[in-house]
Amino acid sequence: MNSQTTPAEIPAETPTATPGQSPAEVTTNTPNPHKPLGIVPLATVPLRDIRIDDPWFNRYIRLVNEVILPYQWAALNDAVPDAEPSHAVHNMRIAAGLEKGDYRGPVFQDSDAMKWLEAVGYSLAVTPNPELEAQADSLIELIAQAQQPDGYFNSYFTVVAPQARWKNLTDAHELYVAGHLIEAAIAYHEGTGKRRLLDVAIRFADLIDRVFGPAPGQLRGYPGHQEIELALVKLWRTTGERRYLNLARFFIDERGREPNYFDAEKAAPDWYELYPGTRRSPTVTSTLQAHLPVREQHTAVGHAVRATYMYAAMADIAAADGDTELLAAAKRLWQDIAERQMYITGGIGQSGHLECFTTAWDLPNDANYSETCASIGLALFSRRLGNIERDSRYHDVVERALFNGIVSGLQLDGRRFFYVNPMSVWPANCLPHTMRRHVKPERQPWFGCACCPPNIARTLAGLGEYLYGVDHDTGRIYIHQLIGNRATIRLKTHSVELGLRAALCEHGRVTLHAASPEPIALAIRIPGWADSCTLASPRQNGYLLLDLAAGRHQLDFEFPLPPELVLPHPEVRALQGRYAVMRGPLVYCLEEVDNGPGLEALRVDDAAFLGNFACETTTPDRSPACLTVDDPVLGRYTRIRLPGWRAEAAPDTPLYRPLRSSTETAAERYRPTDTWWVPYALWCHRDPGEMLVWIRE
Amino acid sequence: MNSQTTPAEIPAETPTATPGQSPAEVTTNTPNPHKPLGIVPLATVPLRDIRIDDPWFNRYIRLVNEVILPYQWAALNDAVPDAEPSHAVHNMRIAAGLEKGDYRGPVFQDSDAMKWLEAVGYSLAVTPNPELEAQADSLIELIAQAQQPDGYFNSYFTVVAPQARWKNLTDAHELYVAGHLIEAAIAYHEGTGKRRLLDVAIRFADLIDRVFGPAPGQLRGYPGHQEIELALVKLWRTTGERRYLNLARFFIDERGREPNYFDAEKAAPDWYELYPGTRRSPTVTSTLQAHLPVREQHTAVGHAVRATYMYAAMADIAAADGDTELLAAAKRLWQDIAERQMYITGGIGQSGHLECFTTAWDLPNDANYSETCASIGLALFSRRLGNIERDSRYHDVVERALFNGIVSGLQLDGRRFFYVNPMSVWPANCLPHTMRRHVKPERQPWFGCACCPPNIARTLAGLGEYLYGVDHDTGRIYIHQLIGNRATIRLKTHSVELGLRAALCEHGRVTLHAASPEPIALAIRIPGWADSCTLASPRQNGYLLLDLAAGRHQLDFEFPLPPELVLPHPEVRALQGRYAVMRGPLVYCLEEVDNGPGLEALRVDDAAFLGNFACETTTPDRSPACLTVDDPVLGRYTRIRLPGWRAEAAPDTPLYRPLRSSTETAAERYRPTDTWWVPYALWCHRDPGEMLVWIRE
């Protein structure tokens, strides 16, 4: 967005955009019932002020702009030959009265268009693209036409079941779609200054605010799939209207109270049965995080995407209102995820059934779900807590997800996607009717239920939001992510120009340029994987604090980046006796194409690893090595070679055999071999085959 | 059965019972289209001629007679307070017109009563019990009353949907129930000489023979759940009526032909939709082994119980007709199971979804199904091939299942049962809506779908059938199982009295008494686990051949029985880097009650194991030891102590941590500990908790 296009009647960015003023201090429609937190969350830097230039993310962002957004535009318009049709635009055209026909696709199909528009908004904030903007404008026009006179928008209900609005919050995703509409509208407004979609969103939000609430005649319901809560917080920030924040809080506080709303609506005679048989089967309220009031929830349960979207909103609302109880609940849930239920890639949602969390320490490798969208949700949630707490560990989790579990979902041609991101794949056993039926050994084209591709697109297009946090009170600029970029940080009285050169996918050397007419206060996150830093500087909550004089500076420092063997906590049953290989933020994996089939038969030599690591060199012997290569398929990346062994057995070896003598001990059964490792995010770009993250000790 | 009660009009036992005559040679109604196999299958010894006396099985057989049969009688009559009602007798009373009411329970509920009657028949063959016989007679009378005038028997269809007979072979289990009715009738006839139920079965079989077949007007269908095929072979043997064998062959040969019968019946307008929604969803024919003609099937797929029951019938029919092609198919499928898809306990059916096989080498530990009934099916199948092939490896698999995967299903009080027999259990994660939703951390009372309990009962009551095979041509007696017993083996011209003292659950010492007026030819199976034997004697196909003079003999010999660490084939991904512990036929496991929680954090010291095993002693140091103990709960059993280590970490250890220096290598992270092992079959009789079969190297 160019600032001169901002309409005067809308606050320039959010109430917080006025430097030094936090949301909690903004004059709101109703008084704040809570005490302030004592700290003000760090502010996010607008996307328009950041240009990312990082070897790991450049190509992903280029993919978003050059391939994914055009491809998804085609997909939304059912113009991708080899993919299941989306029907999204088709459905909206019927809802708008422009076409006759039947609604097709999942009930929440509108949301794909919204996520696409959100991504377009972020993209246009940085990279003007008239053709893309014209496409988006045409879609927005269609959405506006499909909006009903009272402000309601939902193609499914408008076309299929207008009488059944709000009759099945459990399954029907109306509020979920509304949330994505609001987020898209704000992004597009910020990216282009255009408020056509924002007006649509506001009209719909106003309708929702009339329909839902504690007053007589209002519904005391809340969404089956959370998302609108965090969108309403954004809408409050964009418009300054406190009632949107109140509505978000209503949805959060109402959730899980007894009598349970989902049970009650299902028992009502006008329940709208979207899926046959659902009336008879009781709703598993924990899947929807509605089993308890959210403040009483201690462990992350249920559908991981719904959970993290809700937790993110809890953090937002807690920050907005200084609600320490809600913040404590959010932090507790984050801790349960990040310390006990998170894969090393930032994947979450262990169960392949309903894409759910299970329990602490349960991290099965080969049947997990770890949906790409859930990692996105975890990043959204973690960033918010990190900006409240000013603690690097939250951004460590963001980094883990961004470099691994999120981009792993995306093929390097931008046309195929993983929904499920397992730690181990054995293609021959990704079979229907098994516990691995959801695991795909190769990325798939745009799915019928295509939540992940547009979610990846909006995340990468909005990546800049993850980079900085600004303390407008003190003027300190927090560098959360060591992702190369140039940025203008607008403080109360002046701006700071920053340039960060980093390439964590290759090495740990960082160059920071900073220029300002005033003294510069910086906080640079020390990544959780970093054992040391060449920059000597005071530390606070995982940040290096730097105070520089006014003027221009160049700082060169390094976080040494050797490959690491990573150990799991002893409580993690599935990972005992195994190592993962990481280098900096990148999780590595073994692939069949490099190591042959039977990856589970490999072991790594940890003594050699610790004793003799020769980084950045090729060595003639079997010592470990890092090799940065330019690969025709994978591009420039660093591969790792580690010495190890492979279990071997004679051709007639039976299924089970006794260990009969000491000649059959490990030394006899294993032959030395090299193991070759590539970044997890890059797996499955060459010959498809087995993949493994955790190798045996 | 007392032989004097055998009615004259029925062949005394089977056509094969005439010594020296094989089924293929028996005069049959139609000529045999196949060449003979060249060998005649070994004959089974009638149960009435065998008295089992073995420390491992005595208590299970006592349980069957004293607890399970009375308990299951109560269960069938809905008289067990803490269990789901069976409704089985209730349903039959309605079908017989003796009661009004609704059919309740699964569609195949009759079969539980049939399996109970079969077990009663086996039990009465050995142990007279007038009260039990009176209960059985009353049930048989009820079955006879519920039989329809044309011979049809099935409570569900008689009560609920008389118009829908044979309209849904895919789901409705009519032929499955018929098979169990036939098996029960034969067992009860052999056990008591009474033919009331046999007449019912014959009338029903005759109806089925009119309804199904290749002639115009007949149905070319076959059962959705195989079972009747092997029952019809038995009925042929009992009655000498070749058409029952032909009907069995028809079901086998018709199966999997195109156009697929299951697809066709579902497409028919008179399809009977037993489960809502099934008409719309295509039948997965491979689940029912109907994806290919059986002779073209190369890998074991689909529901493991259905599969093994069918494969057993294939072996029977191949033997009866000298059908080498069918035998080759059966052997191929057995090999695929026993060499690539079988758990170390004899459990089969890896997938928790639909209780199915998956693929070669896929043996996940913690989410497997390994239904007790499937191990029973594997034993049925293996015994048949073993009797055809005279090869010990088939009976090795029988032994594996009998000592482990079958009896593990049974609680030592006879009142609770495992359906699912995993290799690893972590109770906190046996949660609904996860891949382990089918895994129960404790045995359950009689289930609503109660296939396993009566199947265990009939198997243990009929255990004698697994012990011997007789070559009536040569007079050689094959001792398949080293299970203590006394037996009278009736050969063509004389009988041989055998007495086998064995206690493989404790030691490998065997004493064999043999007495005969003629020279005695024996073949004693060398168990697959036996490294050596103190008996020097020629060997053939895994048997020791012994030729003794006429008279009385006592042979004392030993198969040394040290504990073994067992290695998996390198292709088995899930088991790499792990050992199982076995001693003789018994698989051992770790339990939380003996080893504390977190069993996956344990490792075993294989060097100590191989170097210094002190069997049958308690040693003061950390050397391995076997200790035979009398436990108040588990009874007399041998526990094993092995030195090992446990992974430990400080309380604040993060979920993932780098291995930073050599002080963090194994020696530092593991503390020495003893690991305590109990037989797998006995697990979950003390405090419930974690269980693990495969420990890390």
A209-246 residue pLDDT tens: 999 999 999 999 999 999 999 999 999 999 999 999 99
- Span A628-674, pLDDT tens digits: 899 999 999 999 999 999 998 888 889 999 887 655 666 668 899 99
Residues 6+ apart with CB under 8 A from A615: A562, A563, A625, A626
A664 against A402, higher pLDDT: A402
pLDDT at B6: 34
**Confidence band, pLDDT 50/70/90 cuts, at residue B15:** very low
Global pTM? Answer: 0.89
Residue of A350, A362, A576 with shortest CB distance to B647: A576
Nearest-by-Cβ selection for A611 from B431, B610, B662:
B662
Q: Within a domain: residue A575?
A: yes
Q: Does residue B448 register a pLDDT over 70?
A: no
pLDDT at A304 over 90: yes
> Where does a domain end: A541, A558, A575?
A558
Tokens at residue B482, please?
Answer: 């080293």
- Residue at B579 is within a domain: yes
- A359-368, pLDDT tens digit by residue? 999 998 887 8
Is A354 in Cβ contact with B284 (below 8 Å)? no
Asked if B548 and B618 sit in the same domain, the reply is no
Average pLDDT, chain A: 90
Q: Answer yes or no: do B433 and A362 touch at CB < 8 A.
A: no
Task: Give me the pLDDT at residue A432, please.
Answer: 73
Give how far the C-alpha of residue A192 lies from the chain's centroid of Cα atoms, to the nearest Å: 24
Chain A residues with CB inside 8 Å of B350's CB? 434
Which pLDDT score, from 0 to 100, does residue A614 have? Answer: 46
Domain membership of residue B514 (yes or no) is yes
Smallest CA–CA distance, residue A226 to chain B, in Å, is 20
Is residue B451 part of the annotated active site? The answer reads yes
**ipTM of predicted assembly, 2 dp:** 0.89
| Domain identity same for A575 and A484 | no
**Residue B71 structure tokens:** 């308990």
Pick from B529, B569, B666: CB nearest A697: B666
Predicted local confidence at residue A609, as pLDDT: 74
Q: Is the CB of A354 less than 8 angstroms away from the CB of B426?
A: no
Cβ separation B665–A580 shorter than 8 A: no
Last residue of a domain, one of B511, B534, B558: B558
Q: Is residue A501 part of a domain?
A: yes
All residues of chain B having their beta carbon less than 8 Å from the beta carbon of residue A432 are: 284
Q: Please report how the helices A196-211 and A228-239 are oriented relative to each other, as an axis angle in degrees rounded to 10.
A: 120
A480 with A542, same domain?
Answer: yes
Q: Is the pLDDT of residue A13 over 50?
A: no
Tell me the two tokens of residue B596: 């504390």
Whether B176 maps to a domain, the answer reads no
Which range is least confidently modeled, A22-31, A80-89, B258-267, B602-611? A22-31
Residue A355: which pLDDT band, with cuts at 50, 70 and 90? confident
CB contact under 8 A, B607 and A362: no
Instruction: Say whether pLDDT at A434 is over 50.
Output: yes
Q: How many helices (H) and strands (E) would you count in chain B?
A: 19, 21
Chain B closest-CA separation from residue A687 CA (Å): 20
Using an 8 Å CB-CB cutoff, list chain A residues near B610. Answer: 659, 661-662, 665
Report, as an integer, the average pLDDT of B142-156: 98
pLDDT at res. B155:
98
Share of chain B above pLDDT 90, in %: 76
Nearest residue, CB atoms, B598 vs list A339, A570, A579: A570
Does the distance separating the beta carbons of A582 and B658 come in below 8 Å? yes
pLDDT value at A561 more than 90: no
A608 and A686 fall within a common domain = yes
The answer to whether the CB of A313 falls within 8 A of the CB of A18 is no
- Confidence at B532, pLDDT banded by 50, 70, 90: confident
A502 assigned to some structural domain: yes
Give the tens place of pLDDT for each residue, B293-338.
Answer: 999 999 999 999 999 999 999 999 999 999 999 999 999 999 999 9
Q: Do A656 and B352 touch (CB under 8 A)?
A: no
Residues in chain B within 8 Å Cβ distance of A697: 577, 666
B696 CB neighbours in chain A (<8 A) are 576-577
And the tokens for A268?
A: 């009502």
Could you give the percent of chain A with pLDDT greater than 90? 76
What confidence tier does A353 reach under pLDDT thresholds 50, 70, 90? confident
Nearest C-alpha neighbor of A597 from the set A688, A667, A670: A688
Last residue of a domain, one of B558, B592, B608: B558
Q: How far is B165 from chain A (nearest CA, A)?
A: 26
Instruction: Decide if A656 and B569 are in contact by the 8 Å CB cutoff.
Output: yes
Distance between CA atoms of B438 and B459, rounded to whole angstroms? Answer: 24
Radius of gyration (C-alpha) of chain A in whole angstroms:
25
Residue percentage of chain A with pLDDT more than 70: 91
Q: What is the mean pLDDT of residues A458-476?
A: 96
CB contact under 8 A, A566 and B367: no
Band of residue A81 on the pLDDT scale cut at 50, 70, 90: confident
**Do B551 and B568 fall within a single domain?**
no
Q: Are A453 and A70 in contact (CB under 8 A)?
A: no
Q: Looking at the 3D structure of chain B, how many domains does it have?
A: 2
Q: What is the 3-state secondary structure (H, E, C) of A653-682?
A: CCCEEECCCHHHCHHHHEEEEEEEEEEHHH
B613-630 pLDDT, tens digit per residue, is: 544 444 445 566 888 899
Are A489 and A518 within one domain? Answer: yes
Verify whether the Cβ–Cβ distance B654 to A569 is below 8 Å.
yes
Could you say which of A433, A653, A697 has the minimum Cβ distance to residue B356? A433
User: Does residue B255 have a pLDDT over 80?
Assistant: yes
- Asked if the structure places residue A190 within a domain, the reply is no
Mutation target among B655, B657, B694 for the A interface, most CBs of A within 10 A:
B655
Q: Minimal Cα–Cα distance from A383 to chain B, Å? A: 20
Instruction: Determine whether B355 is an active site residue.
Output: yes
Mean pLDDT of B227-252: 98
Contact residues on chain B for A653, CB-CB shorter than 8 A = 569-570
What's residue A542's pLDDT?
A: 96
The CATH number that applies at residue B549 is 2.60.420
Are B358 and A434 a contacting pair at CB < 8 A? yes
Catalytic residue among B227, B254, B355, B465: B355
| Co-location of B521 and B489 in the same domain | yes
Q: Identify the band that residue A553 occupies on the pLDDT scale cut at 50, 70 and 90.
A: very high
Of residues B371 and A38, more confidence is placed in B371
For residue B686, the model assigns a pLDDT of 95
Q: Does one domain contain both B596 and B635?
A: yes
The chain-wide mean pLDDT, for chain B, equals 90
Nearest CA in chain A to B337: A655
* Nearest residue, CB atoms, B428 vs list A359, A564, A664: A359
Give the least confident one: A676-690, B76-90, B235-249, B506-520: B76-90
Min Cα–Cα distance to chain A from B277, Å:
9
CA distance to partner chain B, nearest, from residue A172 (Å) = 21
pLDDT interval class at A332 (50, 70, 90): very high
Smallest Cβ distance to A577: which of B366, B571, B577? B577
A–B CB contacts, 8 A cutoff, strictly below: 207
B692 and B573 in a common domain:
yes
- Asked if A596 and A672 sit in the same domain, the reply is yes
Do residues B548 and B585 share a domain?
Answer: no
Q: Tell me the catalytic residues of A.
A: 355, 451
For A341, the closest chain B residue by CA position comes to B655
Range of the domain at A674: 564-649+665-696
- Taking an 8 Å cut-off on Cβ atoms, the answer to whether A362 and B428 are in contact is yes
CB contact under 8 A, A658 and B565: yes
Determine the 3-state secondary structure of A20 from DSSP.
Answer: coil
Give A229→chain B minimum CA distance, Å.
26
In angstroms, the CA B383 to CA B465 distance is 9
Give the best residue of B280, B396, B567 to mutate against chain A (max A CB count within 10 A). B567
Average pLDDT over residues B100-115: 95
Percentage of the residues of chain B whose pLDDT score is greater than 70: 91
Check B373, B451, B505, B626 and give the catalytic one: B451
pLDDT of amino acid A452: 83
DSSP A477-515: EEE-----EEEEEE-SS-EEEEEEE--TTT--EEEEEEE
B281 to chain A nearest CA, in Å? 14
B352 contacts B368 by C-beta, under 8 angstroms: yes
In tens, the pLDDT along A477-522 reads 999 999 999 999 999 999 999 999 999 999 999 999 999 999 999 9
Contact flag B662-A356 (C-beta cutoff 8 Å) = no
Peptide linkage before A259 cis (omega within 30 of 0)? yes
pLDDT tens, position by position, B455-487: 999 999 999 999 999 999 999 999 999 999 999
**Angle at alpha carbon of residue A537, lines to A536 and A542, rounded to 5°:** 110
Query: Closest by alpha carbon to A247, among A214, A285, A288?
Result: A214
Three-state DSSP class for B610?
helix
- Whether residues A572 and A690 fall in one domain: yes
Q: Indicate whether B671 belongs to any domain.
A: yes
**Structure-token pair, residue B310:** 């069918």
Which structure tokens are listed for B476?
A: 């050689």
Considering only CB atoms, B566 lies closest to which of A359, A576, A658, namely A658
CA dist., res. A679 & res. A586, Å (int) = 6
CB contact under 8 A, A567 and B659: yes
